[in-house]
Amino acid sequence: MFSPLMSFDVQTLLVAVTLATMLSAVTRILLWRTHPGIPGLGHWAGANVLGTVALLMIAMRNVVPEWLALSLAQMLIAMGFIILWDGFRRFVGRAPLSRPVLMVLIVFAIGLIVASNVLQSLSFRTSSNAFWVALLSAMVAQELLSAARPREIAMRVSGWLYAISAALFFVRSFAVATSDATVDPWSPDGQTPLMLLWWLCFTMGATLGMVLMASERLQKELDHPSWA
């Protein structure tokens, strides 16, 4: 379907995505360290660091056993999105995720990883990981879109960015789960290059959105100081 138009070297794309994620992690860490008083920024940085390590684990699948590399990557991605969601809740002024919710999310994530290894199915691992990313992205989108005020344009745009990403990963999960073809994530033809390209753009866009949202928060505090 995509071969005439979208034939990319997946390894090269993976390196590009890893470098972009690493750069975004540095940016978010600097944002957090320069604005430590804004809640949630540390969570954003931590989530991005976990994402970078996850991509490095995927890249090292030939150095360590593949099942171990992919399982660790899947766990890091799962934990990263939980931290990310919790950070956005704190940023918009809502309560952190409760311990019961955190436990349910962690158990669910571990269950998906265990099932992937028991079934020894790359299709199930790919589909379940895409579903997890889609679900947590949808939660982040809901937090941002429901909290955004008319003048908070960056928050609204970021919310829609996460909503679009959630939709794409839901489609990815469904497509893999219902396909009879064997999943080959390293094939240059198919959905993998498209998803990597999207993740490259999404990572940079989301980080830019975070910087702009922090700027909106600072401007709001200047316009309405607590002592006024």
* Domain range list for the chain: 10-223
* Residues 55, 18 contacting (CB under 8 angstroms): yes
Residue whose C-alpha is closest to residue 131's, from 91, 168, 185: 168
Q: Which pLDDT belongs to residue 89?
A: 98
* Residue 66 backbone dihedrals phi, psi, to 5 degrees: -60, -40
Q: Which pLDDT belongs to residue 4?
A: 44
Q: What is the dihedral angle through the alpha carbons of 26, 88, 86, 37, rounded to the nearest 10 degrees? A: 70
The whole-angstrom separation of Cα 30 and Cα 192 is 31
Q: What is the mean pLDDT of the chain?
A: 90
What are the tens digits of pLDDT across the range 1-35? 444 444 567 888 889 999 999 999 999 999 999 99
Q: Which pLDDT belongs to residue 72?
A: 94
10-223: in CATH 1.20.1070? yes
| Half-sphere exposure (Cβ direction) of 211: Cα atoms closer than 13 Å | 14
- Asked whether residue 101 carries a pLDDT value surpassing 80, the answer given is yes
The whole-angstrom separation of Cα 79 and Cα 167 is 20
Residue whose C-alpha is closest to residue 48's, from 190, 210, 214, 217: 210
Residue whose C-alpha is closest to residue 148's, from 158, 137, 138, 139: 158
- Asked whether residue 137 carries a pLDDT value surpassing 90, the answer given is yes
DSSP 203: H
The whole-angstrom separation of Cα 45 and Cα 32 is 7
The whole-angstrom separation of Cα 23 and Cα 52 is 9
Q: How confident is the model at residue 41 (pLDDT cuts 50, 70, 90)?
A: very high
What are the tens digits of pLDDT across the range 43-70? 999 999 999 999 999 888 788 888 899 9
What are the tens digits of pLDDT across the range 193-210? 889 999 999 999 999 999
Q: How far is CA 108 from CA 28, 41, 101, 227, in A?
A: 28, 26, 11, 45
What are the tens digits of pLDDT across the range 115-133? 999 998 888 999 999 999 9
* Residues 123, 179 contacting (CB under 8 angstroms): yes
